[in-house]
Amino acid sequence: MAELRFVSHSEIGLVRKNNQDSGFASPTLLVVADGMGGAAAGDLASAVAIDTIRHIVPEPPSTDAASTAAPVTAAPSTAAPSTAKAPTTGEEMLEVLAGAIHQANDRIADLVASDFSLDGMGTTVTSAMFDGTDLGVAHIGDSRAYLLRDGVLEQLTHDHSWVQSLVDEGKISVDEAAIHPHRSLLLKVLNGQTANDPDLTMVALHPGDRLMLCSDGVCGLVDDAMIAEALGRDTIEEALALLVSESLAEGGIDNITVIVADVVEADGTADTAVLGAAAERVIPPVPHPRTGQPDLIEDTVVNLRPTKAAAVPRDDSDEARYNPLPPKRFRFVRPIVLIVALLLVLGAGVGAAYAWTRTQYFVGAEGQQVTIFRGLSQSVPGLSLSTVFEVQPLTVAELPPYYQERVRANIDVSSLESARQTVAELTETAKRCVEPKPTAKPTPKASAPPASPSPEPTSAPESPAPTATTTLPGC
């Protein structure tokens, strides 16, 4: 009968303030959970997931021989009693895993309902159950499971991330996804919401196969070629050490949790390991919705647990991963839709009004020139409602005073053609109203008087008649 012989490790990394990863490993069950939510207690979410799923199979007495992680003591469990019957085999493993994940999701929802400060926490879950022949895999999020067989690496899970959806749609390549600035944004996690069903897969295993489950603190930094090289080492201890060192060498920007396991013949040296937050985080009791009493496995630990989750340091760097699935997101949908609809209506109205102004014209003055403007003749303080369309050769000063005032006050017209007709009429008025210059009438020369011995008085010379000027209509 085959079983899984494993080594495991979980640590904070080089950047994060606390470890929000959790894990569990046994000869028949491997689970990795990557919590998220920053101040919203992602470590509690991952601990709840591990605490729930680890009870679906009976656990052998634990020794520390198989784990390379620092020795840890698991917190007392508050999971509901296991309903799985041992041994679980074949397709039943998928049903049991899916049921446990849904139960963990319900517990997260209950914790949030009892303490709103936890609103926003969530976790990924990648779990694998082995019956000696087949491996049942249940997965949600972007933690991963890999299989190395005969030197060939195969990824057994599919990331539920936004960047992976772009790869699936052919919009970016796998290489581009590895360096995409939003590669950590998740589309699906375990967060207490409904409709978050895990992916379920069955894989036949053979002796000599090597498995690896990890959080994205490993697979998000170490590429598949290096993962294959590490898993190809002679021993699982060497493989684990290389994977951890490569994750740290790439910056160690996230928590690092990894489990490496070989398929071997059972030898009676079974072991279990609880990793990361699941080994340290206290899970508060939640009142049962029907009885109002805490739903616990061990009633003896009731007095040891606080009624509210302990505060955790804020980790803003982790909150961005959870943006695509904000908790209780539907309560904000209606106001957002209303606001967007209102903005669209206002935008359409403004656009229609602007388009209408582009069909309006008037005649006015731009400096000293008569000008055709496009837009509205009305003025608003600090806002121009018109633009210069055509500057005419006619100056305002050429017009009679009455028309000068009309032009400077703006002459509204019904169309561009009407504006040009108005300018033509103003030009004609300017020509018609030019005041003619008066012309002096020549004075006739007086005839020489006949010679006379004595001068005779002469009449005064005739004054020139003034030229009459006519005031034309409208001038």
Please give the pLDDT value at position 414.
86
Q: Are 416 and 361 in contact (CB under 8 A)?
A: yes
State the average pLDDT for the chain.
80
Instruction: Encode pLDDT of 105-124 as tens digits.
Output: 999 999 999 988 888 899 99
- Among left, alpha and beta (phi > 0; psi -120 to 50; other), residue 65 is alpha
Q: Any idea which of 403-417, 434-448, 454-468 has the lowest mean pLDDT? A: 454-468
For residues 342 and 356, what is the distance between their CA atoms, to the nearest angstrom? 21
- Range scoring the smallest mean pLDDT among 148-152, 284-288, 386-390, 418-422: 284-288
CA distance 53 to 83: 11
Q: Are 432 and 426 in contact (CB under 8 A)?
A: no
Parallel, antiparallel, or unpaired for β 29-36 and 199-204?
unpaired
Higher pLDDT, 475 or 211: 211
Cα gap 209→189, rounded to integer Å: 29
Give residues with Cβ within 8 angstroms of 77, minimum separation 6: 51, 54, 55, 283, 297, 298
The domain 2-327: what is its CATH number? Answer: 3.60.40.10
Tell me the per-residue pLDDT of 175-188, one tens digit each, with 9 for 90 and over: 888 888 887 788 89
pLDDT at 36 over 50: yes
Range scoring the smallest mean pLDDT among 95-104, 160-169, 429-438: 429-438
Looking at the predicted structure, is the pLDDT value of residue 471 above 70?
no
Q: Which amino acid is at 57?
A: V
Q: Where are the domains of the chain?
A: 2-327, 361-432
Stretch (H or E) spanning 261: strand 256-265
Measured distance CA(444)–CA(71) in Å, rounded = 138
Identify which has the larger pLDDT, 456 or 244: 244
Query: What's the pLDDT tens digit per position in 306-365?
Result: 334 344 444 555 555 554 444 444 556 667 877 888 888 888 887 787 777 778 999 999
Q: Locate 414 and state its tokens.
A: 């019904």
pTM of the model: 0.60
Average pLDDT over residues 228-233: 97
Q: What tokens does 356 get?
A: 């209408």
Average pLDDT on 419-433 reads 88
From the list 261, 309, 265, 262, the residue with the least C-alpha distance to 285 is 309
pLDDT value of position 270: 77
Task: Pick the most confident of 67-81, 243-257, 395-409.
Answer: 243-257
Q: What is the spatial distance between Cα 25 and Cα 248, in angstroms, rounded to a whole number?
A: 23
Residue with more model confidence, 134 or 296 = 134
pLDDT at 21 over 90: yes
- For the four alpha carbons of 319, 323, 325 and 327, in that order, the dihedral sign comes to positive
User: What gap in Å lies between CA 407 and CA 396, rounded to an integer?
Assistant: 8
Task: Give 208-254 as a DSSP string.
Answer: T-EEEEE-HHHHTTS-HHHHHHHHTSSSHHHHHHHHHHHHHHTT--S
Distance CA 345, CA 324 (A): 27
Mean pLDDT value across residues 145-165: 96
pLDDT tops 60 at residue 458: no
Is the dihedral angle over the CA atoms 382, 387, 392, 393 positive or is it negative?
A: positive
* pLDDT value of residue 317: 54
Check residue 356 and give its pLDDT: 78
Query: How far is the C-alpha of 23 from the C-alpha of 424, rounded, in Å?
Result: 88
DSSP 3-state of 340? helix
Q: Coil, strand or helix: which one is 275?
A: strand
